[in-house]
Amino acid sequence: MKKDNALERFFNSELVRIEPWGKNALRVRVSPDGRLSSENRALIEQETVNATVEIDGESASIVNGNAKAIIDKNGKITFFNQNGRKVLEEALRLQPLKTPARFFKPQLMGKYQLTVSFESDPCERIFGMGQYQQPFLNLKGCVLEMAHRNSQASVPFYISDLGYGFLWNIPAIGEASFGKNITKFKAESTSELDYLIIIDDTPADIERAYMSCVGRAPMMPEFALGFWQSKLRYRNQEELLNIARGYKERGVPLSVIVCDFFHWPHQGDFRFDYDYFPDPEKMTEELREMGTELMVSVWPTIEFGSENYREMLEKGYLIRNDRGPFNHTEFVHPSVFYDATNPGARKFVWDTVKKNYYDKGVRLFWLDEAEPEYMLYDFDNHRYYEGNCAEVGNIYPVRYAQGFYEGLKSVGEKEIISLVRCAWAGSAKYGALVWSGDIMPTFEALNDQVRAGLNMAIAGIPWWTTDIGGFDYGDPTDNDYRELTVRWFEYATFCPVLRLHGYRAPYIPADEGATGGGQCYTGGDNEIWSFGDEAYEIMKDHIFLRERLKPYISDLMKAAHEKGDPPMRPLFYDFPSDKRVWDIDTEYMLGKDLLVAPILELGARDRYVYLPLGESWIEVLTGNEYMGGTSVTADAPLDTIPLFIRKGSELKREIFIKEK
């Protein structure tokens, strides 16, 4: 029947509701017991759209713009585009298999384990779904755990080359399987099915419609477009200031410097340890005079010895365990995570952070451990304010970012950005800049980051970055590692944020008898002058190149804010009619005018580059012009990343030429 501009079907206690949700999109919800919740989860409310609902004896249909859904007498849902071509169909197998498309398996406490199956086109290409450490851009054939881990972020939206986008709007722990024979989604615990399908002409149209449904990113502040310096970890105020002074003395612009973890007395104190950082106001003031903003690391871990532990425990602001010891992780000392899904806990943390950081001049926050990173990922053992982790766990990083976004907004900040180590659908609207976690210092890892960043862009996370050189160790005196760092730096220059971070050799243990933040170890030097003279000159030149590109990148950030276009994106985003680009995964566009082809192998001094059809391209290194639809072998000496400018764009080759 038609109800409130939606199509509903009730049969044997199952309620199916299909309704318009934004432009060319339909939201599908199914409850096995006839009661739908009012939760929107990743979605934001949309203006009312008039849909067309038609019902006959055998089936019923609903149309919203280009998107049409038909539900037949057996309850099977099929989706069509504006030309009547089928793009997605539930896999209901009646005889002889008798397998349902939607299977709710009852659990205790009124929840269900849910499995939803769709028919699969074996030639379909699928992109998005978040960040996975694997060498695949096209996810067809992949099985993905829908759960957060260090370096893994489940953002369950994808775009298909068949002309649709799909959001799994359930924050439960689960699994997505994109097999040749079937596409299947599984939620470990939920009360209902909830997904969104968008049907439109191009990937860009689909992405823009999706971002309007989950919320676009704020405008990125201008200072954030420059170079960010970080390492594990600056141990005290003078050490951090000396690094910033070092950039100033060398005449190298430094936009942000990061004060990493264990600058605090105890995890969960949310303040500086004044034995090591005696005058934060003076520190932030001197940095700002040098044109540098300070970013401070915040962890969601609450150590049992923290000055805030008892109050947070009494008020129910900590994640609970349903069984076993009350201990979630151990980094120097045992600790538990605060419950970011609890509005009261978010306010408590922000109020403490405001008093101890913001009021002392800190405006930027690094929200680490945002999955959160349990010592044991025993998901169904952890209970949040919003429900059991198995049911709602993937929403944690959204709420973590939300708390800081709303706190900063309440004190008058407008262009809000937080560095976060995880995300779910809808994180972008809270100013989440996601980085790819504690990845390895190898060319294999660099290869993975290229694909991961592009899939994150499609999944709706336009602000994304990596630890240049990889996080976990790496020796700046090793020639091979120096080359990796240079190539990674070149690649990062053409990512949304250019940020150097990592835990470098040599390992420096904590001082004997140290207290508070001094109890944590430290890594070796990780500044651009730490990797030898040749690497220094190359990285310095790329920082200045980034400065010259700021107006172009700022325009891309404006497009992300106003339209939902990700700054970096796969070639098919801008050239969907060129069938070859759908299979290219080591080149990408930074905006519509700049093609980037990073060097991803040790010792490589050239690489094969395909230039998309329909445009002419100018090679930055040589000035040579090439027709689109052709391939070239681009030279790539150590100081060069292959770049091609779309002919006729406002972006000129002179911008890329090193200033004398």
- CA nearest neighbour of 41 among 374, 387, 320, 345: 387
Helix, strand, coil: what percent of the chain each, to 5? 25, 30, 45
- State how far the Cα of 260 lies from the Cα of 237, in Å rounded to an integer: 12
- State how far the Cα of 248 lies from the Cα of 236, in Å rounded to an integer: 19
Residue 322 annotated among the catalytic residues of the structure:
no
Residue 368 annotated among the catalytic residues of the structure:
yes
Q: Which of 371, 373, 448, 467 is catalytic?
A: 371
CA 157, distance to chain mean position in Å, is 12
- State how far the Cα of 588 lies from the Cα of 137, in Å rounded to an integer: 11
Per-residue buried b or exposed e for 340-361, using 16+ beta carbons within 10 Å of the residue's own CB: bbbeebbebbbebbbebbbebb
Q: Which of 438, 475, 534, 541 is catalytic?
A: 438
What are the tokens at 486?
């240079």
**Structure-token match 């994180």, residue found:** 427
Q: Considering only CA atoms, give the Rg of the chain.
A: 25
- State how far the Cα of 609 lies from the Cα of 606, in Å rounded to an integer: 9
What are the tokens at 269?
């104190």
Q: Are the C-beta atoms of residues 606 and 636 closer than 8 Å to each other?
A: yes
What are the tokens at 401?
């970012």
Give strand pairing partners of 500: 229
What are the tokens at 389?
């982790």
- State how far the Cα of 473 lies from the Cα of 523, in Å rounded to an integer: 8
Torsion of CA 441, 444, 447, 448, to 10 degrees: -90
What are the tokens at 583?
């299979």
* Antiparallel, parallel or unpaired: β 432-435 and 464-465: parallel
- State how far the Cα of 165 lies from the Cα of 154, in Å rounded to an integer: 16
Helix (H) or strand (E) holding 435: strand 432-435
- State how far the Cα of 573 lies from the Cα of 566, in Å rounded to an integer: 10
Q: How many residues does the chain have?
A: 660
- State how far the Cα of 214 lies from the Cα of 46, in Å rounded to an integer: 10
CA 402, distance to chain mean position in Å, is 14
CA 206, distance to chain mean position in Å, is 18
Q: Give the type of residue at 283.
A: M
Q: What angle do CA 454, 561, 432 make, to 5 degrees?
A: 60
- State how far the Cα of 298 lies from the Cα of 285, in Å rounded to an integer: 20
Helix (H) or strand (E) holding 640: none
| Residues 6+ away with beta carbon under 8 Å from 388 | 111, 189, 322, 380, 382
Q: Which of 161, 200, 260, 368 is catalytic?
A: 368
The catalytic residues are: 368, 371, 438
